[in-house]
Amino acid sequence: MKSLQYILFFVIFSSVYFFVICQNIPSPRRQQTSTIIGTKLYFFGGTTSLIKPNEVWYLDLSSSFNNATPPWYSDAAMPIGYTLGTSCLSPIDNSTVFLIGGRIWIANTNTYSYASSVYKFDSKIQQWTTPTINNFNSSFEARNEMQAVIDNNGKIFVFGGINHGNDDNITTAGYNDMTILDITTMIWSTQTQPQSVLVNIDYTATLLPNGLIVYIGGRGSKTANLHDMSQVQIFDTKSYTWSTKSASGSIIESRACHSAVLSTYTRYV
Ligand SMILES: *[C@@H]1O[C@H](CO)[C@@H](O)[C@H](O)[C@H]1NC(C)=O
Ligand SMILES: *[C@@H]1O[C@H](CO)[C@@H](O)[C@H](O)[C@H]1NC(C)=O
Ligand SMILES: *[C@@H]1O[C@H](CO)[C@@H](O)[C@H](O)[C@H]1NC(C)=O
Domain ranges (residues) in the chain: 27-131, 133-268
Closest atom of ligand 3 to CA, residue 190: 14
Please tell me the number of the ligand nearest to residue 164's CA. Answer: 2
**What is the number of the ligand 3 atom nearest to the C-alpha of 137?**
1
Report the pLDDT value the prediction gives residue 19, as an integer from 0 to 100: 44
Query: Ligand 1 centroid vs 94 CA: distance in angstroms?
Result: 6
pLDDT of residue 110: 72
Nearest to 56 by CA among 131, 123, 7, 4: 123
Cα 161 to averaged position of ligand 2 atoms, centre (Å): 21
Q: Please check whether the two domains, 27-131 and 133-268, share a CATH topology.
A: yes
* CATH topology for the 133-268 domain: Neuraminidase (2.120.10)
* CB-count exposure of residue 105 (10 Å: 0-12, 13-18, 19+): buried
Q: Is CATH 3.40.1190.20 the classification given to domain 27-131? A: no
pTM of the model: 0.86
Euclidean distance between CA atoms 179 and 95, whole angstroms: 23
Tell me the C-alpha distance between 44 and 113, whole Å.
Answer: 17
> Would you say the CB of residue 167 lies under 6 angstroms from ligand 2?
yes
pLDDT of 51 reads 81
Tell me the CA–centroid distance for residue 179 and ligand 3, in Å. 9
Whose alpha carbon is nearest atom 1 of ligand 2? 169
pLDDT at position 265 is 61
What confidence score (pLDDT) does residue 113 get?
78
Does residue 106 contact residue 89 with C-beta atoms inside 8 Å? Answer: no
- Cα of 258 from ligand 3 centre, angstroms: 28
- Taking 70 as the pLDDT cut, the residues of the chain under it are 1-23, 107, 165-172, 265-269
Cα separation, 226 vs 220, in Å, equals 6
| pLDDT at res. 15 | 47
Question: Residue 178: nearest ligand to its CA?
Answer: 3
